[in-house]
Amino acid sequence: MRKISLWALASLALCTATAQTKLIGFTDANAARQATMEKTFDAQLQAQNLDTWMKFLSSHPHHVGSPQGKANAEYMAALFRQWGYQTEISTYYVLFPTPKTRVLELLGSKPYKARLAEPALAEDRTSGQRSEQLPTYNAYSADGDVTAELVFVNRGIPADYEELERMGVDVKGKIVIARYGGSWRGIKPKVAYEHGAIGCLIYSDPADDGYSAGDVYPAGPFRPKDGVQRGSVMDMPVYPGDPLTPGIGATKDAKRLDRKDAVTIMRIPVMPISYEDALPLLQSLGGQVVPASWRGSLPITYHVGPSRDKVHFKMEFNWDIKPVNNIIAKLPGSEFPDQWVMRGNHHDGWVNGAEDPLSGMVAEMEEARSIGELAKAGFRPKRTIVYCAWDGEEPALLGSTEWAEDHQQELQQKAVAYINSDGNGRGFVGASGSHTLEPFFNQIMEDVKDPQTGVSIRDRRYAKSLVDADKAGRAKLLANKTIKLGALGAGSDYSPFIQHLGIASMNIGFGGEDDAGVYHSIYDSYDHYTRYGDPGFQYGVALAKTAGRVTLRLANADVLPFDFSSFSKTVADYATEVKTLLETQRTDVETENRLIREGLYAVAGDPKKGFKVPKEKEVVPFLNFSALENSLAQLKTLSEDYQKLVANGTSLPPEKLRELNEILFKAERSLISDGGLPRRPWYKHEIYAPGYYTGYGVKTLPAIREAIEQRNWKEAQEAIDTVSKTMQTYNAQVKAAVGLVSPKVF
């Protein structure tokens, strides 16, 4: 009752103010109704709920297969049901290794046995739950027992190995130690393995998120000396999800690969360690002093190695099949129940996972609760809203991937968009996603207030970008005030939706004033989060307001707010980037080869160091971009036409409008190609993909860009042609949309 009266009050107060609102995709009348609804939606949000739920959900470790993980799923499912959602717990059965044996020791004259443990802190109430915590490890490491010299490989990315080669250092048969950062962690053992290493350690240097970054926990938010970043090293740039069931749902009876045939499992043992454990290992390294950019901030001289003494490193895992429990909660649409607006966040953590993922999860829950209240009060959305709480995101996007694979046909038919969030904190809004949603999301950012400053989250984000930008960046921002969406790479549960199924997606979160160093450690706790992450949960509420608006507007729009022009401009920019990349590579190779041929490298090197002159590189050919350029030129024209005519959309007869909306939300499907990307067919989106050698880091026009980066000219040319064909299919969709809104129809 109380809520109804609140609602009535809000609608009265706001109907005048919002009458003129122009909402993208809405008729004026529906826009006013929507604005009123959103005000009520906002008014119903209560920070206290986020606090209560986070406290419960993070009260014990809740990783895949844990009792608390199961309890959390049931707790959330019960709440979603209570809020009026048709809720089910959808369970899949996935390979989830946990360590049986972990040994790391430095042998020789100054032996050291790594502690591999994070101690409890009196100031952190959940940090002492030792028996329930997963040990510090990297999931999907290989089993292995190796003894070898150690080599320091900086971030462990391909460029670091090029530098090592110039220094005359080989990792073949060695164990490498890499520093966290500079790439997604799984890239490090993969590249190490490709170079012949037999083991890989990954440590958190204090320069990155330890004492150099700021005071360490509990005095401050940063990583204490024993803190370890757990995390997956599965080769997710090939495919995420259960390694044994690529492309299909890991149901109980699914046909499974033999583990040895699962290519995404690392081939060498890998383990993350603290900087306390890394110190004696790094001190044991001999050889040359590292290049300046490789230095961390431990109080030592960093050397590349090899180590004077050998390192013994042993990992053994329990290769168990574990259940992952997704919560799927539906609020059926009043007009278009077969059009699904999807909204998700994962619920599993590595340990207590307060920030990652619960800070985003509890915001999503409060958003769902408020929408449930709206529905109860008579404001049921037109389209079906599907709230998801994914399990097993941390090991490999397990829950979302298996569910999406299992429901792929239904999703391809019904999914309007997928809106994701994950960890959240104090600061500035950040969003990535399909660029068709860019103007839509820019409008939403105007309508949400920043809790600390009272300006819109758009204005605060813009101010921050402008203040932080260099001169060129500032000029650009002053000339064009649109907040660009980032492109989606990998790193959270949107991957299967956008990259495998071609469902327009977004990822939204706040941050930038919540810097910390407890990521994937036992210290990512309620105590830490409420002190340093988002005290008072005001940014949790801001996330609920933002993602809630995205969800509600997509659910209620008359004409779905997809904008082809933004997409067209963005892809044209990507095309320019890859052309420039090729040009740059050409001139770089020319100069580089000249320096090598003329002996300048040889002469410039220090003869006392093991400097090796690089080899001459193959001359970079010219490629034929014309097919791509033509298809993008066509898209430009078509998208401008659609832009001019879209206002006609709302006047269409219902059947035509339905047809238009279906074209709009399905257009993204035509950006996926059947064959997928070279060597990783699971990734089918031709515009966005996680980098094969960067992991989280997105590669746009990935097939073209990565072929150029890898100097595979034949494949680059083929990729240009494939993308051009994909764009033509897309253009046909846009053309159909233009046809529907063109005056001749009337």
Nearest CA among 702, 644, 357 for reference residue 519: 357
Distance CA 237, CA 264 (A): 9
Residue 166 lies near a copy of itself (rule: CB under 8 A):
no
Tokens representing 159? 């460029």
Residue that has been written with the tokens 């037109």 in this structure: 382
Q: Which stretch binds a copy of itself (CB under 8 A): 14-22, 379-387, 454-462, 633-641?
A: 454-462
Q: Which residues contact 415 (CB under 8 A, 6 or more apart)?
A: 340, 342, 497, 501, 503, 665
Question: Closest approach of Cβ 48 to a copy of itself, in Å?
Answer: 21
Question: Closest approach of Cβ 30 to a copy of itself, in Å?
Answer: 32
Tokens representing 117? 């443990």
Distance CA 155, CA 141 (A): 18
Torsion of CA 345, 349, 350, 351, to 10 degrees: 160
Residue 8 lies near a copy of itself (rule: CB under 8 A):
no
Alpha-carbon distance values, 190 to 176, 195, 233 (Å):
12, 9, 8
Question: Closest approach of Cβ 150 to a copy of itself, in Å?
Answer: 18
Nearer to a copy of itself, 143 or 577 (CB): 577
Question: Closest approach of Cβ 564 to a copy of itself, in Å?
Answer: 32
Residue 298 lies near a copy of itself (rule: CB under 8 A):
yes
Question: Closest approach of Cβ 193 to a copy of itself, in Å?
Answer: 30
Residue 17 lies near a copy of itself (rule: CB under 8 A):
no
Q: Which stretch binds a copy of itself (CB under 8 A): 392-400, 462-470, 492-500, 543-551?
A: 462-470
Site track for a copy of itself across 337-376, x = CB under 8 A = ----------------------------------------
Which letter does DSSP use for residue 427 in this model? E
Q: Which residues contact 20 (CB under 8 A, 6 or more apart)?
A: 28
- Cβ atoms < 10 Å from Cβ of 728: 15
Handedness of CA 20, 24, 28, 29 (dihedral sign): negative
Q: Which residues contact 17 (CB under 8 A, 6 or more apart)?
A: none
Of the residues 143, 163, 316, 459, which one makes contact with a copy of itself according to CB under 8 A: 459
Question: Closest approach of Cβ 718 to a copy of itself, in Å?
Answer: 29
Residue 165 lies near a copy of itself (rule: CB under 8 A):
no
Alpha-carbon distance values, 49 to 12, 46, 369, 406, 588 (Å):
26, 6, 10, 33, 56
Beta-bridge partners for 317: 99
Nearest CA among 408, 234, 364, 223 for reference residue 297: 223
Q: Which residues contact 150 (CB under 8 A, 6 or more apart)?
A: 174, 175, 176, 177, 201, 281, 284, 285, 305, 306, 307, 310, 311
Which runs of consecutive H residues, i.e. helices, occur in 377-420? 393-396, 398-406, 408-414
Nearer to a copy of itself, 1 or 472 (CB): 472
Q: Count CA atoms closer than 13 A to 387's CA, side-chain side.
A: 30
The amino acid occupying position 63 is: H
Question: Closest approach of Cβ 528 to a copy of itself, in Å?
Answer: 16
Distance CA 95, CA 167 (A): 40
Residue 170 lies near a copy of itself (rule: CB under 8 A):
no
Of the residues 5, 258, 299, 655, which one makes contact with a copy of itself according to CB under 8 A: 299
Yes or no: say if 512 and 465 are a contact pair by the CB < 8 Å rule: no
Nearer to a copy of itself, 207 or 377 (CB): 207
Q: Which stretch binds a copy of itself (CB under 8 A): 159-167, 296-304, 641-649, 658-666?
A: 296-304
Site track for a copy of itself across 251-280, x = CB under 8 A = ------------------------------
Nearer to a copy of itself, 135 or 280 (CB): 280
Q: Which stretch binds a copy of itself (CB under 8 A): 99-107, 180-188, 295-303, 567-575?
A: 295-303
Tokens representing 260? 């040895």
Residue 445 lies near a copy of itself (rule: CB under 8 A):
no
Question: Closest approach of Cβ 426 to a copy of itself, in Å?
Answer: 8
**No. of H helices and E strands in the chain?**
24, 17
**Restricting to residues 376-435, which ones interact with a copy of itself according to CB under 8 A?**
426-427
Nearer to a copy of itself, 338 or 598 (CB): 598
Distance CA 408, CA 415 (A): 10
Question: Closest approach of Cβ 446 to a copy of itself, in Å?
Answer: 14
DSSP string, 216-236: BTTTSSBPPTT----EE-S-T
Of the residues 318, 453, 580, 651, which one makes contact with a copy of itself according to CB under 8 A: 453
Site track for a copy of itself across 177-216, x = CB under 8 A = -----------------------------xx---xxxxxx
Q: Which stretch binds a copy of itself (CB under 8 A): 18-26, 130-138, 292-300, 437-445?
A: 292-300
Question: Closest approach of Cβ 238 to a copy of itself, in Å?
Answer: 34
Question: Closest approach of Cβ 162 to a copy of itself, in Å?
Answer: 15
Yes or no: say if 293 and 55 are a contact pair by the CB < 8 Å rule: no
Q: Is the peptide bond before 357 cis (omega within 30 degrees of 0)?
A: yes
Nearer to a copy of itself, 165 or 335 (CB): 165
Nearer to a copy of itself, 129 or 538 (CB): 538
Residue that has been written with the tokens 């920070």 in this structure: 47
Distance CA 216, CA 121 (A): 12
Question: Closest approach of Cβ 138 to a copy of itself, in Å?
Answer: 26
Distance CA 522, CA 514 (A): 17
Nearer to a copy of itself, 303 or 369 (CB): 303
Residue 89 lies near a copy of itself (rule: CB under 8 A):
no
Nearer to a copy of itself, 3 or 531 (CB): 531
Residue 159 lies near a copy of itself (rule: CB under 8 A):
no
Nearer to a copy of itself, 182 or 269 (CB): 182
Distance CA 431, CA 137 (A): 30
- Cβ atoms < 10 Å from Cβ of 596: 16
Q: Which stretch binds a copy of itself (CB under 8 A): 64-72, 178-186, 299-307, 522-530?
A: 299-307
Residue 735 lies near a copy of itself (rule: CB under 8 A):
no
Of the residues 462, 529, 682, 683, which one makes contact with a copy of itself according to CB under 8 A: 462
Distance CA 543, CA 123 (A): 28
Site track for a copy of itself across 548-587, x = CB under 8 A = ---------------------------------------x
**Restricting to residues 580-619, which ones interact with a copy of itself according to CB under 8 A?**
587-588, 591, 595, 599-604, 606-608
Residue 682 lies near a copy of itself (rule: CB under 8 A):
no
Question: Closest approach of Cβ 355 to a copy of itself, in Å?
Answer: 17
Q: Count CA atoms closer than 13 A to 731's CA, side-chain side.
A: 20
Q: What angle do CA 500, 268, 255 make, to 5 degrees?
A: 45
Residue 70 lies near a copy of itself (rule: CB under 8 A):
no
Size of the site for a copy of itself (CB under 8 A): 49
Yes or no: say if 177 and 152 are a contact pair by the CB < 8 Å rule: yes
Nearest CA among 80, 25, 14, 12 for reference residue 383: 25
**Restricting to residues 226-245, which ones interact with a copy of itself according to CB under 8 A?**
none
Yes or no: say if 203 and 296 are a contact pair by the CB < 8 Å rule: no
Of the residues 452, 576, 630, 651, which one makes contact with a copy of itself according to CB under 8 A: 452
Contact positions vs a copy of itself (CB under 8 A): 206-207, 211-216, 220, 222, 289, 295, 297-302, 426-427, 450, 452-453, 455, 459-460, 462-464, 466-468, 471, 474, 478, 513, 587-588, 591, 595, 599-604, 606-608
